[in-house]
Structure formats: structure tokens, C-alpha cells
Structure 1
Amino acid sequence: MAIPSVDSYLQRELKQNLQALLAKSYIIKEVILKDFSDEIVNSFINTYCTDAGHKGQEIPVSMTFPSTKQPATFILVQFKGGTEFDDEKGNSLGGVTGLVDQATGDYMSETATLTVKPYNGFPQASLHLKNPISELESIPNYSGETFIDGNVIYLQYASGMSDGDTFKVFYSPQSVDHEGHATGSDITTAKGYDVMENYTIDTVSNNNDTIRCLEAIFKTIFIYMKQNMTEQTELRLSKLTFAGNDLLQEVNTAENSLVGEQLYYRRIEISYLLTYSVNTEVGTLLDSVSLSN
């Protein structure tokens, strides 16, 4: 069972979703920033959107301050600390967190391309995934029957399905050993502890209107992220807090303030309740390793 890295998850999801939305300026204009003035929206779209006719200026999403001269706008993701979560039952350290089947990997999502081809005179629809499937969780926007064979999911063909369509698949892969052989079923106990962890997402820019636009986009992204299997199984979103603008004093230098380029930031605070756990077989495996070699 993998130990989750929340800051990496936040950086990846924010970057991917931001890039996807910036590639569709009509969504930015007609949906997300609909209540903003035309002047602000057009300026933001012309500067940062990446579809045809716009400059497509990059907005870096990182976990450290830029090592070179600060770009006009960037996103900073930081871990601010965590505390073991104590509920009414008391301390969680070392408690049983569940049962683990060694044949089943961690839940994951994958976008698969639909293949439609004739079979016995009828169209056959299938999805080919990267990994053999141990357990299928769901296929959004599909409600028909499924049949699984290794890494292939056969779907019930319906009119409107076309070769090349894409489906998001949430599943648990079949685990394999170091030789590539499927791991047999072996149920073990997982033990660990619950932690409430806090993170900040700072939108930094020398333009307050840009900060306002990006905050609106991030509020939309958080809605999408909540649909992720990760946020329904590993991470439990506890709290979102949106703060106002402030000066970024850490980089308040003559180069960026006296010439009218003072950097501002607006902070989003996000808390997750998550469980760190390992299966009890890990101790046995470690005991079998010769640390002197």
C-alpha cells in the first residue's frame, strides 16, 4: 500500500486541470469568468490561454520559489504541517486500518480508447488498459454490462459508440511480482494512523486581476478534483479556506517594487484527512533482508 504524497498530487492536478482549461478559452469566458468585466476577461484570455489567437504565457505550478527572476505569475504549492487525528476513540497510531489483498494494487484511474470492431457479425466494443484488472470500480458515463479479460474490458455495445471514443476507467490493477507473474490472493492486515495535513496554494502575480481570475478557475478545478477516485479513497477533503490579497514581502526588492512591479498573492488553504498505513507483512519482509549486504 503506497504512502500518499499530497503535495505532488496537488501540484499535478492543479497543473493538468489548469492547462486543460486554458486550452479552452470559450469555457473560461462563457462559464468560469462570466461575471467578470469584459476588459479583465479579454486581457486574461489573450495573455494566458493557449488556444489559437492567444499568447499562451506559461503559469508555472511548483513547490519552490522560481530559482531565476520571478515570472509575472506563478502558483506555489506548500506543505504546512500535519497532526495525528484523534477522534472520540482516542489515539489512532498503530490501529488497524483495513484488510489488504496482496493480489490487488492501489486504486487508479486511466483514460482508455474505445475499440469497435465486428465479431460474429455484430459490433464489439472494448477498452484496453495498461494493467491487468483485479477489480473494476466504475466507468463514468457508461451503465451497461462489462466483461473483463486480463487488461481488456468488453462493453455492451450501444448505438452512438464509435471507434476512438475515450472513457475514464477507475480500477484496481492486478499486482505482479518482480518476475512479472500475477500475485496470488493473500489477505493481510494493514495498520497505521490518521493525519490531518494542511497545505497552501498561493497565486502570485503583479496583477491583481490575474489573481482574481485564477482563483475563480481554481474554485472550478476543486470541484473536478473532488470527483477523482484519489479524493474518494485515499484523501478526504476536510476544509477549504480562501484568503484575501496581500503583498509578498519575501521578494519585495527594489527590482520588483520601485518600478511598479510589486508582487501580490492570494492564498488558498486546504486540509486533507488521510491514512498512512502499511500491511503487517512488511515487518516480516524487512526481517528477512540482510542489512549488512
Structure 2
Amino acid sequence: MPLEVVPICAYSARESFADPILQRFASLRDISHQDGILRKSILESVSRATQMGHPDFAHLPLGGSGTCMGVTAFIDMAAFTARTFWDDPQDVLWLNMAVLTQVAKTVQGFGGHVLGLRGDGVFACFGDKRMADMKVAAGACVAACAFILDGAKGPLNEALEARGMEPVRLRAGADFGDLSFVRIGTETASEVNVVGFAANFASKCEKHAGAWGLVVGEELASLLPESDISLHEQSPKRYVRKGEERRYRFYDVSLPVYLKLGELVQEQLNGRPLSAIVPH
């Protein structure tokens, strides 16, 4: 049966995240048995698609590299392996495609760049060399994560549960710092990879986040108001080399205030880059 949106009181802006997922999931199920229509749909989507990656480094030659400061984020679906074990493979496929598509669209709507799609998650970056204040990139990243997590937790999951499907559980991790972009691979198969502690630690943070949570490294935390963060119970991360020990803290982020900030960010951007926002 078709997937229907369950009416929800006080729907707020969450519907703008959840509804496209539900509609996309339902339409994919409806056309999955019609090879010609599905093939046409895929070709049309590919023709409209923009290249993933940071636009400042998209045209690097093989072996070429470049750097910038930025906020990186990983947003993924927790317990996705269990879903692939229990659920119908086609349902898993279409739900994965629908959710990650909307996560990627939301990242772009908040001025971020989709660096890659990693199975059950999205790898994103906020900020570029033209940013006058990286606090703008930090706020946009956290606001995007808050918007995504809230939208999936509410309307999307209520609709899935009404259909008898296991709800999705999203989580996110992020950090800020120097990012190095390098094109690696061969002359016939290459991609721009991101190297740097901020990107790697953002991935570690995501693993420490509970469902519907955002965990950030201490460099990103330093760009956020102290009232919005709290030290994670498993912090700090300890690194030891040749007898020297260093510690790096990570924090849980309180997200409600960023839902309101998210609406302001999207209004101010309206298709413009993050660097166009001038903080007051």
C-alpha cells in the first residue's frame, strides 16, 4: 500500500524535511516494477545532478591538493545493518535512497557541500576560503543537523510506524579544523579525498552520538556558545605516542535552539553561499 503521511499536530518546519522522503519512497516503490519508467527517472535525476565534493577543489588534477578551514559532519542511520538483515531488501534500498537524498538536499540548503555518500550516511562540509567568520559555518552545520534529526524523529518515523515499518534512527558527529583535499586514484578512476584530523574526528564523534544526537569535537565546540554544549560522558579521547599523551575533548550539543536558527539561515541564504552571511 502507498506510504501516507500521518497527520501531526504542531507540525512545524519538520514537514519540509520528512514529506519529500515519504513521497520519494512511495514513488520509488510504485515504479520499481516498471523498468522503463524507473530507467527514465534515474536518467533524469542524473542529468540534473551536481557533482559531489567541495567546489573549490572539484577540479584538482590527479595528485593535486589544496587546503581550507572547514566544519565537517557525518550524518548516518544507526542500526542500519540490522535493518538490512530484517527488512525487505527493496524497502531498505528505497528508504535508504529517499532518506539520504533528503539529508543531502538539506545540507545544500544550509550552504554546505556534500562530500560523499557512505552507504548509510552523508559526509558533508561547511565553509570555504571566503568565509569571514567560521562561526557562521559552525552554526549552519549544527542547524542543518538539528533540522535533519528533528525531521526524521517526528513526522518521518510516525509515518513509517503507521505502515508497520521499523523507524529510522539518525545521529551525527562534527568537528572543525584544517582540511586537506587531494585527488587520489588512477587516471581512469579517481576522487577527491579529504584528509585531516577534523574530518576523521567528526566520524569518531558520530559513533559516540546516540540516536537523534549530535556530538562535536572541542574545536567546533569552541565556536558554539558554552550554554549549548556539555562534556560527553566518554570524553576525552586519549592519544598516546612514544610516551607522550594528548587529550581531545568532545561534547553533546543541545539542539532545540538551532531549529529556530535553521529557519533564519535558510532565509538569509536563499541559494547564496555561506560566505554571503555577515554575522551581527
Structure 2-normalised TM-score? 0.24
Higher strand share: 1
| Bigger Rg over Cα | 1
Higher helix share: 2
